[in-house]
Amino acid sequence: MEINDFLRRKLTRRFQTFDFDGNGRIERADFESSAARLAEEFGHGPDSPARKQLLELSLGLWEHLVSVADTDGDGSIDLGEYQRAFADGLLVTEQSFEQGYRPFLEAIMDIADTDGDGKLDVNEHIRWTAALMHLPEADARDIHRRLDTDGDGRITTDDLLHAIHDFYFDDDPNGVGSWLLGALPA
């Protein structure tokens, strides 16, 4: 797959959200820290089954990423490695997309959906995106508004899944997926 400028910008933004400590590399500790931070934000201690599930899925994602993208074998992934792995179809494909993302989103929902209605209101969305990916509140609020296509003030796992799919596979700069992680880098 060829990476055009728009996709390169989206992949750069996704890389930034994976790089939890901001050191310019994706490492196992980024996945451990982000899962712990999300769980703690919603009061899930170390023994919480929901926290354990999120950590297990996060570390599974890390293991997949490092196995396909760490071409120099240093135990971390830089932006170039991440983008090359995506271009080579090693990170996610349209065929593998839902199988990889749905369980992760359901684990997030188990933690962030505080009233258990299967949907995230704007405040739950702001909290989980800040905790997991350091998204600013204004971006998270705007993203929630864009994802709430039926206007009920809540978003579902399916809403998120659709937006993530479009983030990776839709070239429309005005599409909902293009705004999933806030403003794209230049």
Within a 10 A sphere around the Cβ of 38, how many other Cβ atoms?
26
pLDDT for res 92: 66
SS3 20: coil
Question: Tens place of pLDDT for every residue, the chain, 186 residues?
Answer: 788 999 999 999 999 999 999 999 999 999 999 999 999 999 999 999 999 999 999 999 999 999 999 999 999 999 999 999 988 877 766 777 778 889 999 999 999 999 999 999 999 999 999 999 999 999 999 999 999 989 999 999 999 999 998 998 899 998 888 989 988 888
Give the integer Cα–Cα distance in Å for 118 and 1.
Answer: 35
Does this model's pTM top 0.85? My answer is: yes
| Cα-based angle 29, 74, 94 (whole degrees, multiple of 5) | 70
Adjacent-strand bridge partners of 155? 120
**Domain boundary assignment for the chain:** 5-172
pLDDT, residue 111, reads 97
Level-2 CATH architecture, domain 5-172: Orthogonal Bundle (1.10)
Report the pLDDT value the prediction gives residue 101, as an integer from 0 to 100: 87
Rounded to 10 degrees, what is the CA torsion of 65, 69, 73, 79? -100
Provide the sign of the torsion angle of the four alpha carbons 79, 160, 99, 87, taken in this order. Answer: negative
| CA–CA separation, 34 and 12 (whole Å) | 18
